Amino acid sequence: MTPINPTELTAQQEQIRLIRARRAPGSHNTHISLHGVTQSFSPNKNAPPLVALNNVNLEIHPGEFLCIVGPSGCGKSSLLNLIAGLAFPSSGEVQLNGERVTGPGTDRILIFQEHGLFPWLTVGQNVEFGLRMLGIGRKERRERADHYLRLVHLTSFRDSYIHQLSGGMRQRVAIARALATEPKILLLDEPFAALDAQTRDMLHDELERLWRETGCTIVFVTHNVRESVRLGDRVLLMSFRPGTIINEFAIPLQRPRHIEENRVAQLAREILDHLRADINKAMEVEFANTPRSK
């Protein structure tokens, strides 16, 4: 790979400045920031703590589509959980508009690969579930559920049960359920990893359209570099042991994009080369520290 030259770097910085200035129509102005965020876990009393995230500093701009890529175990889910307010840093701070995050809120919603739909409820009832929790009355619940089911093209499945749907349809229900609560920030944790390529491509298009229409901020975690280039305004690269952000790439490609396009593949390859170099370095360090058997 040719290393990024200074001119390209300046172009990258300019692109990042443009992203910061961008506002989708009707978008909100919630700014997410992480300051020196470290998170450690203690698997048991005798083991040394495992540092999942080390000194992460990050600014996420209102209305941005941010992708975070990194190998398994580098702390991506931990990072999303912190932004969601489902976990708290061991040190440092996660802030929304300068205020410390002290728990979950209706302004943020997290969607996982396993999507967490209730099998004993119908599609419509699943979408209405969060609204009921928010104390929204029956008429408005119904209207909102219909609206978001229409957006994900599932109107005719309103009365079906989850087991009657394909994987892609289930993920669309999960997206509709999340969007129905009208969050400002959508946190997605490898949401499409278990889907076949065609369904995933379709959901890329739908997610992008929903993002444009609602003006929400999306933080999308994936281990698939191509997927991050397909979707993101900006891609952050994480490395493991301990998890840190090692690089940042503005994605200058015009939308619409497709994951199979050459320009997407080319940029993904360049980013992957950075990631590989970093993983090799980490492996060398780990190998050097591992006592060898005779």
Ligand X SMILES: Nc1ncnc2c1ncn2[C@@H]1O[C@H](COP(=O)(O)OP(=O)(O)O)[C@@H](O)[C@H]1O
List of residues contacting Mg ion (CB under 5 A): 77
39 vs 77 by CB, closer to Mg ion: 77
What is the b/e burial string over 190-217, where b = at least 16 CB atoms within 10 angstroms of the residue's CB? bbbeebeeebbbebbebbbebbeebebb
3 vs 103 by CB, closer to ligand X: 103
Least gap, CB of 94 to Mg ion (angstroms): 17
Indicate which of ligand X, Mg ion, none lies near residue 252 (CB less than 5 to 8 Å, by partner kind).
Answer: none
Should residue 179 be labelled a site residue for ligand X when binding is judged by CB under 6 A?
no
Should residue 52 be labelled a site residue for ligand X when binding is judged by CB under 6 A?
yes
75 vs 89 by CB, closer to ligand X: 75
In sequence order, what are the residues at sequence separation of 6 or more whose Cβ sits closer than 8 angstroms to the Cβ of residue 47? Answer: none
Least gap, CB of 221 to Mg ion (angstroms): 7
**In angstroms, rounded to a whole number, what is the distance separating the alpha carbons of residues 128 and 211?**
20
Least gap, CB of 34 to ligand X (angstroms): 14
73 vs 252 by CB, closer to ligand X: 73
Residues 12-41 that bind ligand X (CB under 6 A): 41
How far from 151 is each of 37, 58, 131, 212, 283, CA to CA, in Å?
36, 31, 17, 12, 45
Pairs from 250-253 (Cβ < 8 Å, separation ≥ 24): 250/12, 250/13, 250/15, 250/16, 250/19, 251/15, 252/11, 252/15, 253/229
Site string for ligand X, 64-93 (x = CB under 6 A): ------x-xxxxxxx---------------
> Which residues of this protein are in contact with ligand X, per CB under 6 A?
41, 43, 50, 52, 70, 72-78
